[in-house]
Structure 1
Amino acid sequence: MLFLSFLDYIYLAISCVVTGDIRNIRREKDLGHRTNQKLHSLPYNRIYIMLEYKLKRYGIRFVKQEESYTSQCSPLSPEVGKRYAEPSNRKERGSYRDGNRVYNADAVGAYNILRKYHSVSGVKKELSVTGLKTPEIIKVAV
């Protein structure tokens, strides 16, 4: 009898990981001396290399997807691009409002990165937005 742990099951179910390509996020940005120092010291490429290495050990493909306008487009828009981008929909930190619907902003960005990857790669796959509709706000004392 073969017993699989939860992690083994996940490794068997995942064949590809898509992530946003943020290597050029620092280019031509001036956010102040301290913020620039913090932003420029982050090892983006090293993170990508290590993630790809770890995923390859399990036979999982790693894809970097260009992510322009992914956090500004509604998950219900026909496509992800400048034509459908509305930066004003990000009303407050962590939430994306589209009419009467409220979504988690990070989830919308990740969802749109995946949609953008599917449109570029030619994969026709229907994605559901049901998981994006119930954002949970957690207050953290600073």
Structure 2
Amino acid sequence: MTERRNRLLRDAMNKAGRKVIQHCLDNRIGTVVFGWNKGQKDSANMGAKTNQKFVQIPTGRLKDRIAQLCEQYGIRFVETEESYSSSSSFVDHDSLPTFGEKPVRASVSEGEGWQASGKRVKRGLYRTAQGWLINADCNGAANIGRKVAMMLGLDLSGISRGDLSAPLRLKLWS
């Protein structure tokens, strides 16, 4: 049973990695930015059953496979930490502190510590300070891109509220 599961997972990682690379090649995308926090599954506190399902997802294998395929096809692969990317608002230009460092105060009126201007309303939905509803995963991905934009010379000015509220879905198994 373990061998069968390992083969299924390896096949899934290969297919997912190929889809990502093919999308990059079709759309002339030259850089893949992968948000990664070491130890992100350690001490996960989402309930017993959800934890069991979450820690079984081999995201490290997917990251390694995508990095391998990027090197093979001449696409730049950048790994960055993704702390505070889901809770910060891309639209409102919230600050993005690094995990472990003490976040700076956003303003005196907010009191001590860092605080996001928006809020995750429910799974998959994020409300900005202006009350706009955008896709939470797209908001997090845009913030991960924002963390490395200066280093890589990326222009994120083309990302609009419309891009974040109605994302294009890429079906991995169709």
Superposed pair shares fold, TM > 0.5: yes
Q: CA–CA distance in 1 between the matches of 2:59 and 2:35?
A: 11
Aligned residue pairs: how many? 129
**Residue pair 2:37, 2:83 contacting (<8 A) in 1 also:** no
1:64 aligns with 2:79: yes
Q: Single out whichever of 82-91 and 106-115 deviates more from structure 2.
A: 82-91
State the Cα deviation string for residues 62-100 of structure 1 (Å, max 9, x = none): 111101111111112153235464286111222211123
**Residue pair 2:139, 2:164 contacting (<8 A) in 1 also:** no
Q: RCO higher in 1 or 2 (8 Å CA, sep ≥ 6)?
A: 1
Q: CA–CA distance in 2 between the matches of 1:50 and 1:87?
A: 36
Give, in angstroms, the shift of residue 14 of structure 1.
Answer: 1.8
Q: Which residue of 1 aligns with 2:121?
A: 91
Q: Which residue of 2 aligns with 1:21?
A: 36
Question: TM-score, length-normalised on structure 1?
Answer: 0.72
Cα distance change, pair 62–108 in 1 and its aligned pair in 2 (3 A): same
Where do 5+ consecutive residues of structure 1 fail to align?
1-6, 137-142
1:128 aligns with 2:163: no
Identity %: 29
Cα distance change, pair 38–13 in 1 and its aligned pair in 2 (3 A): same
Where do 5+ consecutive residues of structure 2 fail to align?
1-21, 98-102, 107-113, 168-174
**Residue pair 1:108, 1:132 contacting (<8 A) in 2 also:** no
Q: Which residue of 1 aligns with 2:65?
A: 50
**Residue pair 2:31, 2:75 contacting (<8 A) in 1 also:** yes
Question: TM-score, length-normalised on structure 2?
Answer: 0.61
1:116 aligns with 2:147: yes
- Please tell me the residue identity of whatever aligns with 2:148: Y
**Residue pair 2:149, 2:156 contacting (<8 A) in 1 also:** no
